[in-house]
A and B are shown apart, each in its own frame.
Chain A
Amino acid sequence: MRCLAPIALCLASPLAAQEIDHSARDAHAAHGDAVPKPPADPHAGHHLPPRPRPTDPVGRRAPPPAPDDHYADRFFPPAEMARVREQLGREHGGGRFSQLMIDIAEFRPRSGHEEYQWKGEAWTGGDIHRLIVKSEGKGAFGDKLESGEVQLLYGCAVDPYWNVQAGLRRDLGRRSRRTYATVATEGLAPYWFEIEGSLFLSDKGDLLARFEAYNDQRITNRLILQPRIEMNFAAQDMHDERIGAGISEVGLGLRLRFEILRELAPYIGIVHERSFGPTARQARADGNAARKTALVVGLRAWF
C-alpha cells in the first residue's frame, strides 16, 4: 500500500514540472548575499596589466532576473516564434515513445500434452508518465486457456530506477473471470536485478500478491543467461481459483537466449513450478501435480 503515496506525488508532478521558477535558477548565483558592484567598464580591462586570473578573487554579484520576453520576437512574428518555440521544447526532452516487449513466448515439449506460456508488456508515454498493458498466461494446446490475465496500468517514474503503477487486472481462462485493482512497483535493484512487486484486490475483496525478479547474465555480448523467480501469495483461500492462503506458487526459470538482434532472441530453458500448502492440496485433489519441471523453447522479442 505504500505505493499509493508515490502515485499521489506522481500525479501532482506534471504541475510541479512546469514550475521551474526563479528560485531554481537563482540557485545558480554564487551565493545569496551578493553586493552588486557598479557595472565595470567593458574596456577598462584592456588597459590593465596582465594578471593571472585563476588567483583573482571572483566577485559575488547577484545574477540578474530572467527577462519575460523572447529576443527573437523583435525580429520575427511572435506568433510564429511561439509555435516553433513550443516545438523546440517538445523535441528536447518532451518526446513520447513506445515499446512492445514479449519477454516470454515459449512452449514445453512434452509427450502428448504440449503446453505454452507467454508474458509481455507494451507501454507508451514519456520519461515519467506511461500507459502500460501487461499480459501473461499459460495453457495446453488443444485445451481451453488454463489461466491468463491482462492488466491496464498507469505508470510513473518516481526515482532513477523505480516506477509505481496502478490500474486494473482482468483474469482470463477457464477458471475465473475476476477483476482486480492493482498497484505495483517495478524497477532495477542493485546488482542489475529487475524486480516487480504487485498487489491485487479482487472485486470480491480477495487480496493477492506477486513478486518477480530476473537478472541477465552475459556469457558473451549475445549469449545471455536469465535466471528468473516468481512467487505468488494469497491472503485467503480462494476456492474457485484453486488458491490457498499463504504462499501459493513459486516458479523458477533459467533461460539461455541468443540475441540474433537485440530485439530477437530465441532461447531454451528449464522451468520448475511448485505449489505449496492448501494450493498444492487443491492441485493434487484436482489430479494435477504440485510440482512440475519442464524444458522450454521460446523466443524473446521486442519492438
Chain B
Amino acid sequence: MPSIKSISGPRLDRRTMLRRTAAVAALSAVRMFPIWAQPVSAGITAPKPTLESADLRLRIAHLMMAIDGKQRHAIGLNGTVPGPLIRLKQGSTVRLHVTNDLDVDSSIHWHGLLVPAQYDGVPGVSFPGIPPRSTFTYEFPLIQAGTYWYHSHSGLQEQMGHYGPLVIDPEGTDPIVFDREHVVLLSDYSPLHPHHIFKKLKQQPGYFNQQKQTLAGLLAGGDQTAPERLSWGGMRMDPTDISDVTGTTYTYLVNGHGPTDNWTALFRPGERIRLRLINASAMTIFNFRIPGLAMTVVQADGANVRPVTVDELQITVAETFDVIVSPAEDRAYTIVGEAVDRSGMARATLAPREGMVAPVPPLRARPVATMKDMGMGAMDHAAMGHDANDHGAMSMRDPAVAPQVRLGPGVQTISPMPIDRTGEPGQGLEDAGHRVLVYRDLVALDRNPDVRAPERSMEIHLTGNMERYMWAFDGVKFSALTRPIPFRKDERVRVTLVNDTMMAHPIHLHGHFFELVTGHGDHAPRKHTVNVPPGGKVTFDVTTDAVGDWAFHCHMLYHMHAGMMQVVTIRPADDGL
C-alpha cells in the first residue's frame, strides 16, 4: 500500500506543522502530491497494490498547497490534496484509522461504498464525528468493486481539499481490459473561505456570476432577444444562473493541479488507458472531453456498464465515470474539464513524454437557460419562444402540481410540466456537434440484483429560491425537519425526483445503489448519485436493503448547507417502525 503512509513520531503543534508544511511545499511541489497525482504521472503501475486485510491510517490536517504557483490554505489527508489513493480488494475487510488534527470536528464519508450505517461517516446521522486530536476507526467489508471517492461530511471542509480517490479492485477478472490507468480527480478550489462563499451567496445570490446578460450583449446580438429578456424579467428568472460559484473565484483542479500546473498523464501510443474520472468538486459540474480522442465509458458510479463511445460527457458533482481511451498517435492530448457555466476549465495533458503539450481549446459560450429548464418541458415545442408572453398564463407556482410541497418563501417556482430529460445531453451540450453521453446510454453490464417491480412509489420535489439562496426537498429545509423519510427493509420503491428549480441538483443517496428507470429493464444502470437537470425529473427504483439512517442530499455543497438534505431511515418491520 505505497500510497498510504502513516504519520508517526512526536506530535507537532499546529504552528510547527504549518511552518514545516509550508517549507516542504515551497521546496518541492513534487512531495505535495501522492504518487498517482505527481505533476507528471506514469499512472498506477502494475503490480497493483492490493490489500486483503489491513489497517490504514489517515490524518486530516491543515496544510498549504501550491496551485498555479500560489500558496493556498487547504485541508488535506496525510499531507496531500487530494488525499491518498486508497486501493483495496473486493472481498476483504478494511480498518481505517482516521486521526483528526484540525481544531474542529471532522469526518470521512466513503462516497458510494456500501458500508454498515455506523461507518458511513456523516456526523449527526451515522456517528458523532471525529473530535479534534482524536482517532476514529472505520471497519467494514468490501462487498463491491469500482471507482469511488471519499470526503469530509463535516461543515464545508470538502471545499478546502478534504477529499481523495478510492478504488476497489474486483475479486474475479476485471471485465474492463486496459494496459494503464490514471485517476483523474476533478475539483474546485477557492482562496475564499467556504463560510465566506456561503455568506456572499446569502447576501447576493448572483455574487459570483460575471456572465449575466447585459445591454452591451443585447446590442451585440447575443443571448436572449429583447422580448425574451422582458418575459424572463417578468418572471424574475435569470437564464444565466448556471452555476452559483464560478471561475471568478474557483481554480479548477485535476488531481490537485491547476490549469497552469498542467498535470501530465503519460502513455505509450497504442495502449488502452483507463481513466477513472471523479468529480470531487464542491459546486462544479464539468463537461469532460479529450479533443481528438473518443472515450468509451465502461463504468459509472463504480458499477460497470456496457461500453458506449462518446466524444464528451458531463460529470456532475460526486459522480464517477471510468472511460477507456486508446491514443494511437505519438502526440499530446489536452484533458479538458470545462465548468458547465464555461467560466473556467480544469486542464491536464495526456502525453507520451513529459513536457509535451497540446492546444488548449477556448472556453465555449456559456449556456442560456430555456423554458425547458424552467419546467415547461412538456409544452409544445412549436409554441415555445414564439409567443413569449404565452407562458405567463401558466402558473409557475401552482400548488396543485405538487401538493406535498410547503409553499413558503423558500419555494420560488414549481415546475408546471417537468419532463424526463435522461435522454438529453447535459445543460449546454445540446449543440456540442459531437457524441455526448446521455443517461439513457448507460446500460448495466450485469443483470440487476433485484428486478422486482416497485411496491410503492413516491415523489420528492427539489425546491429552491434563487433570490434568497434557499434550497430544500419539498420546500422544507433540513433544519426545520423533524422526521426522516421511512422505508421498510428490502422494500422496492420507485422514487421520482422533480426539479422545481432552474439549477441542476446532483442527488446522492447514502448506503445504496439505485437503478435509473431509463428503459433498460433488468439491466438498468446502477448509481449512487444522479444529476436532476433544471426543470426536469429523474426516476429510479431502489431496494432499501441497508438497515440504518442514511443521509440523502444534494451534492452541491452549498445547496446542502442551505438545507437541501434529508435523512432516509430503513428498518425491518419489527424494529422501530
Residues in chain A within 8 A of chain B (CB atoms): 17-22, 24-25, 27-30, 34, 37, 39-40, 42, 44-46, 48, 50-54, 56-72, 74-77, 80-81, 83-95, 97, 99, 127-128, 157-161, 188, 190-192, 217-222, 262, 302
A-B contact pairs, 25 of them (CB 8 A): A18-B482, A20-B481, A27-B403, A40-B455, A48-B451, A51-B521, A52-B522, A53-B517, A65-B486, A66-B485, A72-B127, A72-B548, A75-B118, A76-B128, A84-B123, A93-B477, A95-B562, A97-B203, A127-B470, A157-B409, A160-B412, A217-B215, A219-B214, A220-B215, A262-B204
Bound CA span A189–B40, Å: 54
Chain B residues positioned under 8 Å from A217 (CB to CB): 215
Contact A64/B488 with A53-B453, A92-B477 known, Cβ cut-off 8 Å: yes
Question: In the complex, are the beta carbons of B410 and A42 less than 8 A apart?
Answer: no
Question: In the complex, are the beta carbons of A17 and B458 less than 8 A apart?
Answer: no
A242 CB to closest chain B CB, in angstroms?
A: 37
Question: In the complex, are the beta carbons of A18 and B480 less than 8 A apart?
Answer: yes
Bound CA span A96–B470, Å: 12
Partner of A84, one of B124, B409, B447, B483: B124
Chain B residues positioned under 8 Å from A48 (CB to CB): 451-452
Question: In the complex, are the beta carbons of A50 and B458 less than 8 A apart?
Answer: no
Apart from A65-B577, A76-B128, 7 more pairs, CB < 8 Å: A18-B482, A28-B404, A30-B457, A72-B127, A76-B127, A84-B128, A92-B563
Contact A28/B485 with A67-B571, A92-B561 known, Cβ cut-off 8 Å: yes
Question: In the complex, are the beta carbons of B409 and A160 less than 8 A apart?
Answer: yes
Bound CA span A190–B236, Å: 6
B76 CB to closest chain A CB, in angstroms?
A: 22
Is the CB of B9 closer than 8 A to any CB of chain A? Answer: no
- Per-position binary interface string of chain B over residues 476-493, scored 1 when its CB falls under 8 Å from any chain A CB and 0 otherwise: 111111111111101010
CB-CB nearest in chain B for A96:
B202
Chain A residues positioned under 8 Å from B575 (CB to CB): 67
Bound CA span A91–B152, Å: 14
Chain A residues positioned under 8 Å from B488 (CB to CB): 39, 64
Question: In the complex, are the beta carbons of A192 and B236 less than 8 A apart?
Answer: yes
Contact A219/B215 with A25-B485, A71-B548 known, Cβ cut-off 8 Å: yes
B517 CB to closest chain A CB, in angstroms?
A: 6
Contact A89/B494 with A24-B404, A95-B561, A218-B215 known, Cβ cut-off 8 Å: no
Question: In the complex, are the beta carbons of A70 and B486 less than 8 A apart?
Answer: no
Chain B residues positioned under 8 Å from A87 (CB to CB): 123-124
CB-CB nearest in chain A for B541:
A53
Question: In the complex, are the beta carbons of A88 and B406 less than 8 A apart?
Answer: no
6 shortest A-B CB distances, which residue pairs? A93-B563, A88-B124, A93-B477, A27-B404, A94-B479, A93-B479
- Per-position binary interface string of chain B over residues 533-561, scored 1 when its CB falls under 8 Å from any chain A CB and 0 otherwise: 00000000101010111000000000011
Question: In the complex, are the beta carbons of B198 and A95 less than 8 A apart?
Answer: yes
Chain B residues positioned under 8 Å from A29 (CB to CB): 456, 458
Is the CB of B125 closer than 8 A to any CB of chain A? Answer: yes
Chain B residues positioned under 8 Å from A45 (CB to CB): 450-452
Q: Which of B16-37 contact A (CB under 8 A)?
A: none
Contact A20/B476 with A28-B404, A51-B451, A219-B214 known, Cβ cut-off 8 Å: yes
Question: In the complex, are the beta carbons of B467 and A188 less than 8 A apart?
Answer: yes
Chain A residues positioned under 8 Å from B230 (CB to CB): 191
Partner of B517, one of A54, A159, A192, A302: A54
Partner of B211, one of A90, A161, A221: A221
Chain B residues positioned under 8 Å from A220 (CB to CB): 214-216
Question: In the complex, are the beta carbons of A88 and B480 less than 8 A apart?
Answer: no
Q: Which of B229-265 contact A (CB under 8 A)?
A: 230, 233-236
Chain A residues positioned under 8 Å from B524 (CB to CB): 53
Chain A residues positioned under 8 Å from B476 (CB to CB): 20, 24
Question: In the complex, are the beta carbons of A90 and B479 less than 8 A apart?
Answer: yes
Bound CA span A76–B457, Å: 33
CB-CB nearest in chain B for A75:
B118
CB-CB nearest in chain B for A67:
B576
Chain B residues positioned under 8 Å from A80 (CB to CB): 128
Partner of A128, one of B105, B409, B460: B409
Pick from B124, B199, B575 the residue with the most CB of A within 10 Å: B124
Chain B residues positioned under 8 Å from A70 (CB to CB): 549
Is the CB of B279 closer than 8 A to any CB of chain A? Answer: no
Question: In the complex, are the beta carbons of B118 and A17 less than 8 A apart?
Answer: no
Is the CB of B459 closer than 8 A to any CB of chain A? Answer: yes
CB-CB nearest in chain A for B117:
A71
Question: In the complex, are the beta carbons of B455 and A59 less than 8 A apart?
Answer: yes
Question: In the complex, are the beta carbons of A190 and B118 less than 8 A apart?
Answer: no
Chain A residues positioned under 8 Å from B207 (CB to CB): 262
Question: In the complex, are the beta carbons of A91 and B128 less than 8 A apart?
Answer: no
Bound CA span A25–B6, Å: 46
B119 CB to closest chain A CB, in angstroms?
A: 9
Question: In the complex, are the beta carbons of B455 and A88 less than 8 A apart?
Answer: no
Question: In the complex, are the beta carbons of A188 and B236 less than 8 A apart?
Answer: yes
Bound CA span A44–B210, Å: 56
B178 CB to closest chain A CB, in angstroms?
A: 29
Contact A93/B480 with A61-B456, A64-B577 known, Cβ cut-off 8 Å: yes
B385 CB to closest chain A CB, in angstroms?
A: 19
B553 CB to closest chain A CB, in angstroms?
A: 8
Bound CA span A29–B490, Å: 17
Is the CB of B474 closer than 8 A to any CB of chain A? Answer: yes
Partner of A69, one of B452, B561, B576: B576
Bound CA span A198–B188, Å: 44
Contact A53/B522 with A42-B450, A59-B455, A91-B561 known, Cβ cut-off 8 Å: yes
Chain B residues positioned under 8 Å from A34 (CB to CB): 456
Chain B residues positioned under 8 Å from A54 (CB to CB): 517, 519, 521
A60 CB to closest chain B CB, in angstroms?
A: 6
Bound CA span A24–B563, Å: 17
Bound CA span A18–B477, Å: 11
Question: In the complex, are the beta carbons of B236 and A61 less than 8 A apart?
Answer: no
Bound CA span A192–B239, Å: 13
Bound CA span A89–B512, Å: 23
Chain B residues positioned under 8 Å from A44 (CB to CB): 452
Pick from B202, B213, B230 the residue with the most CB of A within 10 Å: B202
B420 CB to closest chain A CB, in angstroms?
A: 11
Chain B residues positioned under 8 Å from A128 (CB to CB): 408-409
